[in-house]
Amino acid sequence: MGNSNSTWPFCGEPLMKDGSIYNTSTIPNVSVCFQHTILVFVPCFFYWLLFSALLMQAKRSRNANRFLPLPISWLFGLKLIIAAILFFDSIFLFTRYFADNSDDLPTPGVNIVYPLILAITCVLLIFGHIVCKQAGVVSSGIIFNTWLLLAFCGLPELYEWIQKSTDEQESTSNGRNIGFYIWWFGCLIEAFLFCFADKRSNKEVPNAELDSSFLNRLTIQWFTRLPLIGAKKDLEIQDLFELNEGNTANYLENQWDHYWIPTMKKYSEKRKAMLAEAVVTKMNGKESNHDKQTTTNKLEPPSVVYNLFKMFKYELITSFGIKICSDILQFANPYLLNLLLNYVSDPDAHLWQGIAFGLLMFGASQLRSFLINYYFYIMFRIGVKLQSAMTAAVYRKTLKLSNIARKDKTVGEIVNLMAIDIERFQLIASQIQQYWSTLGIAALPGVFITALFIPYTILTSHFMRRWMVQQMKLKDERTKICNEVLNGIKVVKLYAWEIPMMTLIEKIRKQELFCIFKASLVRMTVDVFNWSTPFLVALCAFATYTLTDTEHHKLTPQIAFVALTLFNQLRSPMTMIGMLINLTVETVVSNRRLKEFFVAEEMDQQAIERTPETSGKNDLINSDKADFSWDVSHDSPEASTAIPNLKDITMQVSNGSLVAVVGRVGSGKSSLLSA
């Protein structure tokens, strides 16, 4: 098969017809070989490749026990009956191979292969639909798209059979035309039926999204009822949908613990082993200052980003595939525009060609709009779920912090972690795919210009990250002082400390604003470059094109329009670069702060002893010449040499007795109580 016009033995004819047939006044037909190979293999192999993903989706739904198996309904039965009819129809097309061979004429092998592929696909579609029913999945996008592709790819053959039926000289089709009519209309009916979701057994549904079909979710039609109610009256609580179980903080927190706790166990084991090694080294007198610093710094905390990826990997992979399809369609319009301009400039072009180019441009734009909106819907939902999971994890970690960790982690820092740092993960979630989109084909003309600013971009990223860290530290300090002022407002008023406290807070705020000002100034210069890049690329490209060959390189409207369409596609990704750099720098800083917080020391649960109630004669607390210290960590190699706050404390506290601990600041009251 050296070229497209050579005969392919598998089909008995060329895969593609001669290009001259497209210069006719009527819509041409594609070759039978193309109909029975490419137009059959594409939808069938599409389903075969995604069949494992369908089974995985059903398995996840069944293991989560979120939904009951679906009841047998008339819609479910009708879908299975039509799929079974199509299976037997493909077997009928398979038998036509032997009927054609009865005349001792060589029949192409494609006539036996493509019906078998269709029959296997029908069996897998029936099996996949039954599996979804048992798992409680009301609609599958994979099955719907497969039926839609089968119906769409059958249009050329349908057109050819209709033409043959009107041709009186056409020889008998041996029943193939009837078999194909049944097949195509069956696929079309199945695609229509799968626009509707199967029904659940329970009547009350907490959220309409759970019972909506794939097409309904793609167009977000299930949400239409809420704006209609809001247009008529103010929304009330009973008008709103209940939150899906998969979006609740309780469910997401359990998912986070499922991935984070094993990671933390491995980290704790490594940390204890390193600390034990440090203690042994110190006892042997071989530790140096360099070794001490290496022991405390070389163990990297577990990755928060990697655990979040494991939580949302299936949704991220789905969005990745949708974004690829959307970006491919983005470059279809410039290509189709070029063909349309050629059609307009050609006086011998036929009407059907212009209509086809116009319909293709409209279809590509609409399909890309659907895909990009659904992509952002998925990514924004991931961002909200991420924020809920991380906020719950930070809150739970706060309750488990030990006294030493509480001393280092102030209330202001914890509030900023939940309010600022976690929000940055949410913001970057919806834009994370823009990195590879920015490096797509449309960005290639601007690579050279962009490369000129790479050193500047690296330098600005370094300074922005440093200023962001400094700003967050100042924000923590300011929030801490504000909390202390609010908690001790009576004392502040009593001693008339309002002005000094206000001066201190304003001083910190000015330093914080100065960091924000410096980062904003640098960000503004990056944004100016990003906004001007499409213009610079177009200017350099047109200048290079016209100056390299002034005789043959004429800048015609066709070349200019197509090139400008491509250059305008640079505008969106290049304007995103500045925001992406900013979000990335902020997220890197927040990621480090969250990692340090999550690995902070927790209370030793084994040190807590709960004794049952006893008589008042027994002593619940009994210490004899005990030493107490606040700054001792059971994971620290310096624990044996720490200086205790209290020494030689002997006391007995009986059950039910009232004991007061009195002393000046720093005398050891908290050390005694924490013990």
Q: How confident is the model at residue 135 (pLDDT cuts 50, 70, 90)?
A: confident
Q: What is the mean pLDDT of residues 95-108?
A: 65
Instruction: Find, among 431, 479, 201, the residue nearest to 323 by Cα.
Output: 431
Helix (H) or strand (E) holding 626: strand 619-628
Q: What is the pLDDT of residues 38-87, one digit of tens each?
A: 899 999 999 999 999 899 888 887 776 667 788 888 999 999 999 999 99
Which of 170, 202, 234 is where one domain is finished? 202
Residue 381 sits in the same domain as residue 496:
yes
- Residues 207-243: tens digit of each pLDDT: 788 888 888 888 888 888 888 888 888 888 888 888 8
**Which candidate, 57, 588, 67, 111, places its Cα nearest to that of 304?**
588
Tokens of 479: 């929030």
Specify the 3-state DSSP secondary structure of 78: helix
Please tell me which residue, 229 or 656, carries the higher pLDDT value: 229
Compute the mean pLDDT over every residue in the chain, rounded to the nearest whole number.
Answer: 77
Mean pLDDT of the region 441-448 = 47
Confidence of residue 8 (pLDDT cuts 50, 70, 90): low
Inside any domain, residue 480: yes
Name the residue range of residue 418's domain.
Answer: 304-598
pLDDT tens across 350-397, in order? 888 888 888 998 988 888 888 888 888 888 888 888 888 888 888 888
Q: What percent of the chain has pLDDT over 70?
A: 71
- Is 325 within the bounds of a domain? yes
What pLDDT does 490 receive?
84
Of 202, 232, 259, the domain-final residue: 202
User: For the residues of 236-292, what is the DSSP string, one character each?
Assistant: -GGGSPPPPGGGSHHHHHHHHHHHHHHHHHHHHHHHHHHHHHHHHHHHTT---HHHH
CA 607 to chain CA centroid, nearest Å:
42
Total structural domains within the chain: 4
Query: What's the burial of 640, exposed, middle or buried (CB within 10 Å: 0-12/13-18/19+)?
Result: exposed
Residues 618 and 556 in one domain: no
Instruction: Find all residues with CB under 8 Å of 472, minimum gap 6, and list them.
Output: 416, 420, 421, 589, 593
416 shares its domain with 563: yes
Give the pLDDT confidence score for residue 15 in this predicted structure. 66
- pLDDT at residue 435 greater than cutoff 50: no
- CATH number of domain containing 387: 1.20.1560.10
Where would I find the H helices in 401-497? 403-408, 411-416, 422-429, 434-438, 447-452, 454-487, 489-494
Do 275 and 377 have their domain in common?
Answer: no
pTM to 2 decimal places: 0.69
pLDDT of residue 433: 53
Structure confidence at residue 318 (pLDDT) = 85
Percentage of the chain exceeding pLDDT 90: 11
Confidence band for 129, pLDDT divided at 50, 70 and 90: very high
Residue 265's pLDDT is what?
87
Query: pLDDT grade, residue 148 (50/70/90)?
Result: very high
Would you say residue 659 has pLDDT above 60?
yes
DSSP 654-672: ETT--------TTSSHHHH
Q: Is 190 in the same domain as 267?
A: no
The pLDDT of 628-640, averaged and rounded, is: 53
Q: Alpha-carbon distance 594 to 421, whole Å?
A: 8
Tell me if residue 602 falls in helix, strand or coil: strand
640 φψ region: left (φ > 0), alpha (ψ -120 to 50), beta (else): alpha
Interval 123-131 mean pLDDT? 94
Q: Of 559, 529, 532, which is closest to residue 544 (Cα–Cα)?
A: 559
Are residues 575 and 623 both part of a single domain?
Answer: no
Residue 224 has what pLDDT? 87
pLDDT score at 414? 66
Same domain for 448 and 591, yes or no, is: yes
Whether residue 395 is contained in a domain is answered as yes
pLDDT band at 648, cuts 50/70/90? confident
Same structural domain for residues 534 and 593?
yes
Sign of CA dihedral 444, 450, 454, 459: negative
pLDDT tens digits, one per residue of 391-432: 888 888 888 877 777 766 666 566 666 666 666 666 666 555
> What is the band of 123 on the pLDDT scale with cuts at 50, 70, 90?
very high
pLDDT at 616 > cutoff 80: no
Domain assignment present for residue 459? The answer is yes
Phi-psi region of 666 (alpha: psi -120 to 50; beta: other; left: phi over 0): left
Gap between the Cα atoms of 573 and 440, Å rounded: 9
Check whether residue 618 and residue 588 sit in a common domain: no
**617 phi and psi, to 5 degrees?**
-75, -25
Q: What is the DSSP letter of 210?
A: G
- Let me know whether 25 and 72 are in one domain: yes
Structure confidence at residue 192 (pLDDT): 94
Angle, helix 249-283 to helix 289-297, in steps of 10 degrees? 160
Q: How far apart are CA 171 and CA 629, in angstroms?
A: 101
Which residue has better confidence, 428 or 125?
A: 125
Which tokens go with 199? 């029904």
User: Amino acid identity, residue 221?
Assistant: Q
- Among the ranges given (22-31, 278-287, 303-312, 495-504), the one the predictor scored with the smallest mean pLDDT: 278-287
Name residues whose C-beta falls within 8 Å of residue 233's C-beta, 6 or more positions apart in sequence: none
> 534 lies in a domain?
yes
Q: Torsion angle, CA of 656/660/666/670, rounded to 10 degrees? A: 20
Burial category of 494 from C-beta neighbours within 10 Å (exposed 0-12, middle 13-18, buried 19 and up): exposed
Is residue 450 included in any domain, yes or no? yes
Per-residue model confidence (pLDDT) at position 642? 54
Whether residue 576 is found in the same domain as residue 632 = no
Residue 374 inside a domain? The answer is: yes
Measure Cα distances from 606 to 245, 536, 609, 610, 639 in Å.
34, 66, 7, 10, 18
**Any domain includes 229:** no
Pairing mode, strands 13-14 and 619-628: unpaired
Summarised one tens digit per residue, pLDDT across range 155-190 is 988 988 888 877 654 555 667 888 899 999 999 999
Q: Which of 282, 297, 312 is the last residue of a domain?
A: 297
Chain segment 547-567, per-residue pLDDT in tens: 776 676 677 776 777 777 766
Residues 352 and 485 occupy one common structural domain: yes
Most confident among 177-186, 327-336, 535-544, 577-586 (mean pLDDT) = 177-186
CA angle 114, 119, 124 (to 5 degrees): 125
Distance, CA of 390 to CA of 311 (rounded, Å): 12
Q: Which of the four pLDDT bands, split at 50, 70 and 90, describes residue 102?
A: low
